[in-house]
Amino acid sequence: MRKGEIISSIILFLFSLIFMAQSKKLSGMGVVGGELTLGADFLPFWLSIIMLILSIFLFLSSILLHTEEKTGILLPTYMGWKKIFYIVAGLFGYLLILERIGFALSTFIFLILTMILLERHKSLIAFIVSVLVTFGLYLLFRLWLKAPLPEGIFGI
Amino acid sequence: MGYERERFFMDVLNNLVLGFSVALTPINILYCFLGVLAGTIIGILPGIGPVSGIAMLIPFSFGMNPTSAIIMMAGIYYGAMYGGSTTSILINMPGESASVMTCIDGYQLARKGRAGAALGMAAFASFIAGTFSVVGLMVLSPPLAKFALRFGPPEYFALAFLGLTAISSLGGSSLLKGLISGVFGMMIAMIGTDPISGASRFCYGIQDLIDGLSFISVSVGLFAIGEVMETVEGSLSVSHFKSKLSGLLPDIDDWRASKGALVRGSIIGFIVGVLPGAGATIASMLAYAVEKRISKHPEKFGTGIIEGVAAPEGANNSATGGALVPLLTLGIPGGAATAVMLGGLMIHGLRPGPLLFKQHGDFVWGLIASMYIGNIMLLILNLPLVRVFASILRIPRFILLPMVVVFSALGVYSVNNSLGEVYVMFIFGIIGYFMRKLDFPAAPVVLAIVLTPLMERTLRQSLMMSRMDLTIFFTRPVSCVLMTAALLSLFYPLLRYLWSNRDYLRKRKMNKNRGKL
């Protein structure tokens, strides 16, 4: 937990610095028609200041208050990381192929791949479920909601 | 005075008739049913809570009119409170966070072979408290909406500010992390077009960003995808329940033991629900704690007593009705679930608030009436059909989780037919996972995204009104009260820390002084 907090405080610190620098490029306070107006940079700038302070607090509290160290399990096991990777990489791959080969085929491929990777011994169930779910989603999105999902090589 | 009270109740009655005429149309009955059914299932499925459920189903509401959409979204919300108790009682695992307290005595009852009575009491408690909170919503909302019609920019800023600070300080385990989440959400909300000057901010020429990050992408990512990633890393095996389900009706002794708990749970839940920041989870914890404190036999709590189920189940359902009060009358959501509902309504081009309350009675009262109907549907769904729903628990995770991912991705895609928004969901899924792991609450992010445009506009308007004088927020009575409450919610944890450690601090001071001598 503590290590994660230190890392996240540093990331947040850098994030707010960049945010502040970028917000200064926006149009600032001005006078329009004799009236004072606050510019587009007003809130972003102050938010980045607040975040800067909060990230310093987080850094200090994670270093100084180590008596309150929580002994919760933070990091997943090796197996846990592997399964997370399957889902994340699978989703990323799904998004890459979704518009190229169409909704039906890519959905089927994503479902059957992730299901088999997560549970190797039940590939028949995975196959049947993938077919049924793809078909069900087709009915739901295309026929009921009439949502224009990306079409593929077979026109589905 | 008597005349006015009579007129008030006549108004409520007339409005209710109007509401039922809206809610009883076949299409709205259907959506109400779909909502409570989806809610029950979402409540039962561990790992998918009401917030992700509502966010995932928003794309499905696009073909509907806004009234049907809110009827369905609200149905998911209170339906999930019914379903959540089922897993708590049967397998000691809360289906959603508001059912955590139900595990304690509910599971013990199940181990004693009284799962049926516990499930039955949970359903009845939800029904009674749910109905109570609809009545509360009905009575409290009109005067509040009328009052809010007079609010100007400073009042709205103060309200939104209070909503955000309250959820940041109450929502998570640490105030600091809650605040970081809230400010992070506001920073994300800066992306897009400035509401006042029309300048584009942080877009870097990317077309998809001109309208800002899509609210649905962010909330589905943070909640649904984040939840999937967190669930998948653990064991994927499914826990089975062993106790048999018989005797779903609580007996007369159960009722006698629970009646006080039901009344107190309903009232506590409603009040906590109305207040910003807290929600169904805190309501159920508070109700359980109160029952335990005033009980004649507090030592029996945790061993499987029926009032330990009735109080939290009543409170979490009552809180959902309460949470709709600020959403409908002020347009300010108090928690993540109502924030997602607000986001959904805004996509429909509807902005809840006092004006909507006054001008679109059919919308508000249709929703209220539908909640009566929905609660009856839920009672029917959850009593005789609880065995059917419990079998949902048998769906293996390796099948369920990829389905949730596909469903989320396609839902987000179908909002604007944009793959870019699905990538946003993907990125926020990863952010959401690490936020969960590091104990940063996700609710303030979602609330901030919904509230920031309003906050920014009203803040800048207020400051322009007062010529950059911050005291404008404290010279107007309503905004002064709200701002004070917001500041208190910010500093309350610090004060409580100092108060609870006062002995320690005093001793340290004394030791220091001694050192000097």
Contact B277, B170 (CB under 8 A): yes
pLDDT in tens, B182-232: 999 999 999 888 877 777 888 787 777 787 888 889 999 999 999 899 888
Chain A interface includes B398 (CB < 8 A): yes
Cα–Cα distance, B274 to B296 (Å, whole number):
30
What tokens were used for B242?
A: 């062993």
User: Residue A55: its chain B contacts at CB < 8 A?
Assistant: 180
For all residues of chain B together, what is the average pLDDT? 86
Give the pLDDT band (50/70/90) at residue B264. Answer: very high
Closest chain A C-alpha to B233 CA, distance in angstroms: 4
| Residue A5 burial by Cβ neighbours in a 10 Å radius (0-12, 13-18, 19+) | buried
ipTM attached to this prediction: 0.90
Looking at the partner chain, which of B190, B396, B414 has a beta carbon nearest the beta carbon of A145?
A: B414
Half-sphere exposure of B253 (CA within 13 A, CB side): 3
Identity of the residue numbered A146? K
Where is average pLDDT lowest: A105-114, A135-144, B374-383? A135-144
Binary contact (A40, B201; C-beta < 8 A): yes
Nearest by Cα to B102 from B322, B305, B323: B305
Q: Which of residues 214-273 of B touch A (CB under 8 A)?
A: 225, 228-229, 232-234, 236
Average pLDDT over every residue of B252-262: 89
A vs B: CB pairs below 8 A: 170
What tokens were used for A26?
A: 């926006």
Binary contact (A110, B430; C-beta < 8 A): no
Q: Which residues pair with A30 in a beta bridge?
A: A37
Binary contact (A84, B438; C-beta < 8 A): no
Between helices A2-23 and B175-189, what is the axis angle to 10°? 30
pLDDT in tens, B338-387: 999 998 888 888 888 888 888 888 898 999 999 999 999 998 888 888 88
Closest chain A C-alpha to B84 CA, distance in angstroms: 24
DSSP tag of B334: S
Give the pLDDT band (50/70/90) at residue B74. Answer: very high
Q: Which of residues 9-68 of B touch A (CB under 8 A)?
A: 59-60, 62-63
User: Residue B407: its chain A contacts at CB < 8 A?
Assistant: 137
Sequence-ordered alpha helix ranges (H) in A65-155 = 78-101, 103-118, 123-138
How much is the pTM?
0.87
Q: Which residues pair with B211 in a beta bridge?
A: none
User: Residue B468: its chain A contacts at CB < 8 A?
Assistant: 36
Contact B144, B330 (CB under 8 A): yes
What tokens were used for B83?
A: 């379903």
